[in-house]
A and B are shown apart, each in its own frame.
Chain A
Amino acid sequence: MHADTTVTSKKAAALAAFEGIDSEPGVPKPDPILVIEKVVRRFGGLTAVDVDHVEVQRGSITALIGPNGAGKTTFFNQLTGFDTADEGSWSFNGKPLRGVPAHRVARSGMVRTFQLTKALSKLTVMENMRLGAQNQRGENFFRALIPGSWRGQEDEITERAEELLERFKLAAKRDDFAGSLSGGQRKLLEMARALMVGPELVMLDEPMAGVNPALTQSLLGHVKDLREEGMTVLFVEHDMDMVRDISDWVIVMAQGTVIAEGPPDTIMSDNRVIDAYLGAHHDAPMSVEEAEEQLQEAEAELEAEIEEKA
């Protein structure tokens, strides 16, 4: 259903939206779903996140990349209400979100997954899925006591969950404890469960880490499908092939700030990005020749890959 080569209408629309946009950090987008004015989070003396203006285009797949410790997860935590930012303001669909508790953020349509997977071990896979559904009548204490009042809705939820489990290749595990799943399967379950919420913006923190390559392909397909269904995806990923394959736009973080933005095929040759990844301010002593050599190697490698793609 998600043929790799067909450039679908949604993808074309997303790419068209980015047409002619400068590759500058903080550049305005035509129809942003998420607008960050400023976010600052300090841990003691360490400023983990200090992001100025950033916008995320509606209906696009945007990748957030950066070296380890760049502050990507911390940035996610601030946006989704799992941590309290020291400063800043940001809005989702025009609604200011700073100080809004995590569960309200999720209800408003912005749902995230976690880098360290959070499967609910002693619930079955199906119960994990059902938990994601919103506005459940049976989650009210008094209505819970009258099974007739929530059974019908529960059946609908189960049906929706079964479709998603099928898509994520977990249907066979339906009645197993989530704790018995493998690491990769838990990633899949967490993503499927997040979709049960019915989000507008899905924020995935390293969704592919630990998932086998064959499955990664189908997961990539699922992520593209999300865009087809009208959702916006913002995801953190270290695998550059994958970033290039599915993202319409890439935001690069390093040392807590956004250092570059741009389309995936040009962003990797941006000097600021290469510096961030290879360390223009490398701690280890390195001779000038060594550094030059490494840089050229990396550039050649990147270019080769880009050409291969084209």
Chain B
Amino acid sequence: MDWNTIFVTTVKASIGLETVVYALAAIGVNIQFGYAGLLNFGQAAFLGVAAYGLAVIVSTFGLSFWLGIAVGLVATVVLAFLLGIPTLRLRADYLAIVTIAAAEIVRLVFRSVAFKDVFGGSDGRQNFSGDFYAMNPYAPGSYGIGPIKFDERTTWVLTVGWILIALSCVLVYLLMKSPWGRVLKAIREDEDAVRSLGKNVFSYKMQALVLGGVIGCLGGFIFGLGQASIQPDLFGTEFTFYAYTIVILGGAARVFSPVVGAAIFWVLLVFVGNTLSEAVGAGVFGSAITVTQVGSVRFILVGLGLMLLLIFRPQGIFGDKREIALDAR
């Protein structure tokens, strides 16, 4: 077994593209679900409309990169209002139902034959990241420490991605220790009490939905740019559920939990996956597991690990045990 390769890929995963994308998506979910108690099960759609907004403007219509970013952002905000206006006055579960359905609608529209000319069907879009890499300050070569190295393109995407994560964390930190964040956390506990104290609950929920969507949409941009292509099926419901897993793994309503949660989640997946592949290659399991089954087995093992974590540490990594204890009262 090649432990060196396993080690290198695992360390790279901890700061790699997937971690960045999922961390941004999870920071958004943490604002909505962790702080405000909103069940947005359509986070994938927020990343999707942003990534497609950029890709369509640049590759379908041949317009500029920055216009693409602007369109992606506007599309995200519009989606938040479309989902929020009819549902945020109702009970919490309505938002969950509407968002999960809307996310599937968005994905199916992206991959539909009818709009193939615009969205590219199931092949998605390519050729929209040129302007982004033209801004790359890194000279061709590889960057990193020891064996942990990325090429200049990846280094550039990761640099931008981690700057966005840092800015998002600062934003969340400032907001959540302000009176604005206090209103949000209070809404999560009991909306009616907050109303009785003269706060416009609907407006705060909408702000949380938009903010979480916009931070998630940055992940959509990074996803598209990092792969230099997008396909509709990247934005399926499992994407959203991974983001929720990450938030709960890290501990809901903590500033850094989505970031650390995302890193741990991907490190686990990559480590377990690579170790299994190597082991199967070396014939450790005989014929019990074949190479094609490794993908599924790693999810089974990681899922098992997460279950154990939640049993023994229900508050997540950064959570406060006392808060969990309050729920039992």
Measured CB to CB, the residues of A under 8 A from B are 80-82, 101-104, 106-107, 111-114, 118-123, 127-128, 130-132, 134, 136-141, 144-145, 147, 150, 154, 177, 179-180, 190, 193-194, 196-197
Q: Which residues of B lie under 8 Å from residue A132 when comparing CB positions?
A: 197
- Using A111-B198, A118-B193, A120-B194 as known contacts, list a sample of 19 further A-B pairs with CB atoms less than 8 Å apart, ordered by residue number in A: A101-B200, A102-B195, A102-B196, A103-B199, A103-B200, A106-B197, A106-B198, A113-B196, A114-B192, A114-B193, A120-B190, A128-B186, A131-B197, A138-B178, A144-B174, A147-B178, A177-B322, A179-B326, A196-B197
Q: Which residues of A lie under 8 Å from residue B183 when comparing CB positions?
A: 131, 139
- Contact partner of B189 (CB less than 8 A), chosen from A114, A121, A138, A196, is A121
Given contacts A102-B195, A103-B195, whether A122 and B185 have CB atoms under 8 Å apart is: yes
Q: Is B323's beta carbon under 8 Å from chain A?
A: yes
Q: Is B180's beta carbon under 8 Å from chain A?
A: yes
Determine if A138 and B195 form an interchain contact, defined as CB atoms under 8 angstroms apart.
no
Q: Which residues of A lie under 8 Å from residue B11 when comparing CB positions?
A: none
Determine if B323 and A177 form an interchain contact, defined as CB atoms under 8 angstroms apart.
yes
* Nearest CB of A to B252, in Å: 11
Q: Which residues of B lie under 8 Å from residue A145 when comparing CB positions?
A: 171, 174-175, 178
- Contact partner of A134 (CB less than 8 A), chosen from B188, B192, B198, is B198
A–B Cβ pairs within 8 angstroms, 11 of them = A106-B197, A114-B196, A123-B182, A131-B194, A138-B179, A144-B174, A144-B179, A147-B174, A147-B177, A150-B178, A179-B329
Give the distance in Å from the alpha carbon of A137 to the alpha carbon of B182 in the complex: 13
Chain B, interface size category, equals 20 to 34
Q: Which of B174, B179, B196, B323 has the most CB of A within 10 A?
A: B196
Given contacts A111-B196, A113-B196, A177-B322, whether A144 and B185 have CB atoms under 8 Å apart is: no
- Contact partner of A107 (CB less than 8 A), chosen from B174, B177, B198, B322, is B198
Encode B194-228 as 1/0 by CB contact (under 8 A) with A: 11111111000001000000000000000000000
Q: Which residues of B lie under 8 Å from residue A104 when comparing CB positions?
A: 198
Give the distance in Å from the alpha carbon of A118 to the alpha carbon of B192 in the complex: 8
Q: Is B181's beta carbon under 8 Å from chain A?
A: yes
Q: Which residues of B lie under 8 Å from residue A138 when comparing CB positions?
A: 178-180
Q: Which residues of A lie under 8 Å from residue B188 when comparing CB positions?
A: 122
Give the distance in Å from the alpha carbon of A131 to the alpha carbon of B197 in the complex: 7
* Nearest CB of A to B75, in Å: 21
Q: Which residue of B lies closest to A107 (CB)?
A: B198
Q: Which residues of B lie under 8 Å from residue A113 when comparing CB positions?
A: 196
Determine if A82 and B192 form an interchain contact, defined as CB atoms under 8 angstroms apart.
yes
Determine if B326 and A180 form an interchain contact, defined as CB atoms under 8 angstroms apart.
yes
* Nearest CB of B to A97, in Å: 14
Determine if B180 and A122 form an interchain contact, defined as CB atoms under 8 angstroms apart.
no
* Nearest CB of B to A269, in Å: 36
Give the distance in Å from the alpha carbon of A154 to the alpha carbon of B177 in the complex: 12
Give the distance in Å from the alpha carbon of A150 to the alpha carbon of B177 in the complex: 11
Give the distance in Å from the alpha carbon of A81 to the alpha carbon of B200 in the complex: 13
Give the distance in Å from the alpha carbon of A127 to the alpha carbon of B146 in the complex: 49
Give the distance in Å from the alpha carbon of A81 to the alpha carbon of B326 in the complex: 30
Determine if A106 and B182 form an interchain contact, defined as CB atoms under 8 angstroms apart.
no
**A contacts with B: majority SS:** helix
Determine if A141 and B198 form an interchain contact, defined as CB atoms under 8 angstroms apart.
no
Q: Which residues of B lie under 8 Å from residue A137 when comparing CB positions?
A: 179
Give the distance in Å from the alpha carbon of A112 to the alpha carbon of B196 in the complex: 7
Q: Which of B180, B181, B188, B329 has the most CB of A within 10 A?
A: B180
* Nearest CB of A to B224, in Å: 28
4 A-B pairs with least C-beta separation:
A138-B179, A144-B180, A144-B178, A179-B326
Determine if A122 and B182 form an interchain contact, defined as CB atoms under 8 angstroms apart.
no
* Nearest CB of B to A58, in Å: 21
Give the distance in Å from the alpha carbon of A147 to the alpha carbon of B182 in the complex: 14
Q: Which residues of B lie under 8 Å from residue A193 when comparing CB positions?
A: 197
Q: Which residue of B lies closest to A196 (CB)?
A: B197
Encode B223-255 as 1/0 by CB contact (under 8 A) with A: 000000000000000000000000000000000
Determine if A123 and B185 form an interchain contact, defined as CB atoms under 8 angstroms apart.
yes
Q: Which of A103, A127, A180 has the most CB of B within 10 A?
A: A103
Encode B32-73 as 1/0 by CB contact (under 8 A) with A: 000000000000000000000000000000000000000000
Give the distance in Å from the alpha carbon of A144 to the alpha carbon of B184 in the complex: 12
Determine if B198 and A139 form an interchain contact, defined as CB atoms under 8 angstroms apart.
no
Q: Which residue of A lies closest to B210 (CB)?
A: A141
Give the distance in Å from the alpha carbon of A196 to the alpha carbon of B183 in the complex: 15
Determine if A130 and B179 form an interchain contact, defined as CB atoms under 8 angstroms apart.
yes
Q: Which residues of A lie under 8 Å from residue B194 when comparing CB positions?
A: 120, 131
Give the distance in Å from the alpha carbon of A119 to the alpha carbon of B329 in the complex: 12
Give the distance in Å from the alpha carbon of A194 to the alpha carbon of B196 in the complex: 8
Give the distance in Å from the alpha carbon of A179 to the alpha carbon of B175 in the complex: 23
Given contacts A130-B182, A131-B182, whether A123 and B189 have CB atoms under 8 Å apart is: yes
